Structure 1
Amino acid sequence: MNPIISKLLFDIARKRFEKTTQQPVKSETQIRPLINSLEVEIRHAIKEYFLILIGVFSAGFGLKGFLLPNDFIDGGATGISLLIENLTSISLGFLLLVVNIPFILLAIKTISKKFALRSIVAISLLAVVVHFVEYPVITEDKLLIAIFGGFFLGLGIGLAMRGGSVIDGTEVLAISLSRKLGITIGDVLLLINIVIFSFGAYVLSIETALYAILTYLAAAKTVDYVVDGVEEYIGVSIISEFHEDVRLMLTEKMRRACTISPVKGGYKNEKAHYDRSLIYIVMTRLELPRLYTELDKIDKNAFVMTSVVKDLKGGRIKRKPLK
């Protein structure tokens, strides 16, 4: 590793250690676990922000290469911004920031400050890309515009979600309302978009609203493909030599209930015996990046298996879809 970066990590780890223990650092060995944790956090953060960056440029391509030049609209906060942009001379980049502000404030209250910060970065980048980056106009065929404009916009939204953020704030509103009303996030998004498309049919035209529905459906299906559903639950099985540390991380840091079962090793001709534990936990797909980050800090060689959970009933499932 670069000596400058190593020194920076050492200084940060030293300050954290001294703040927590109220004792001076006597050797690097004392803070080696903290340094390793910082390295993991930085590595995962780079990967997640890279996904956000690619997602922003993909969404920008969908908007400026397909939707904007042909006066098309979409659903969600982007659709609201496009509607206002069609009715006024206000820049779309500025509108994307303003329309999403209430949703970001809601994210700080209902989800987390870290998630809200990443979303602010993602939405700001999208506003900059839409305002300054020039994309070629791909086609004037309305059907192709609706389908492929929705595809690239949905791809951008999905990649941003994989990076732990959103570029359309209505997802946050949908999460909040789903908890209060007891309905799914998908149903809330559908209701929000029905209102947007109805308004679009009134102020623009019914044809534009119908094409907007096609755009929304293409975007929604693409998002499903990229992140397998906003509210989808994933079952995670973990086998690690440091199973107690993993359990503490899950229950104390991530505040999730888990199930622990003894398992036998059965490699080749070795005598099978209960030498490890299998930890099983259910969470949403959007929480997986954080789980992988925390797990890498404890055991990079842990065996992790994930599977889609189609239905849930009972148990201690904390319904908090985002980090």
Structure 2
Amino acid sequence: MSDNDVQLSQHDLALTRRTIETTSGPVSVAETGAGPVLVMLHGGGPGASGVSNYHQNLPELAQRFRVILPDQPGFGDSYRPTEADLDERSITEITVDALFQTFDALDIQRFHLLGNSLGGAAAIAMAQTQPERVSGLVLMAPGGGWLPFGPTPTEGQKEMFRYYNGGGPTEKKMANFIRTMVFDHKQFGAEVVRARYESSLDESHIAFYHRYNAAFGKRHGMDPLWRALHKITAPTLLLWGRDDRTITLDGAQIMLKNIRDVQMHIFGNCGHWVQLERAREFERLVTAFLGDRA
């Protein structure tokens, strides 16, 4: 663990950043709040990171939880897996290993776990491989645990693949990407588009994203985590936007059937980013579901 922790401010909320050394490379972690530990895993879109995906939810959640926000390998300030790394293991396997090492270094043995999309896949895999450590699980349209009825890749997945290809990133392409992630893109104006675009321009992240997309192609998509959903023992809450065009609602049935202790909340007029489009309802549901579980 690095000794040069710094205090950051995001929407008037103090965050502590640490860098944890793992056997693969450094993992950046932000933390805020006090109480039971809640680990929040971000999705896999261009420019994603722990803080950027959930900053709007932290003032509320930090009142009840010690919130841990890792940047998953390849994203934010964490290390970038190489082509050899991605040939040897999937991005989910790499992430799970790095995150368990990170939590061990932070002396976090038992925790609540929340993940969206790519981060949802990591959350499923963590809850399958070390179920005794996960006290409550919240999955928002998670990859890997879902079997769609429609064609794949989905519309949202295609936009992610296009973003860094065909001439590279532009603000217009970022605007198109955001439109596929949400139901009502009008609430996300030019400033939001520009900020997300600028956060996507790190050269090492761009290089990683090309490797990441190529690895998905070689592996024919996400790991088939749906095959072992029965290994999840944590009480589980599924949150899904009815109008999600990236991880579509029609594929959720297998999770409802095979996770032992599961319930689901579906948001109408909502896309892939529940935590943004329905922020207050998201915070209320997460707090109510996890608040009394140890």
TM-based fold match above 0.5: no
Which structure: larger Rg? 1
Q: Between Structure 1 and Structure 2, which shows a larger proportion of strand residues?
A: 2
TM-score, scaled relative to structure 1: 0.28
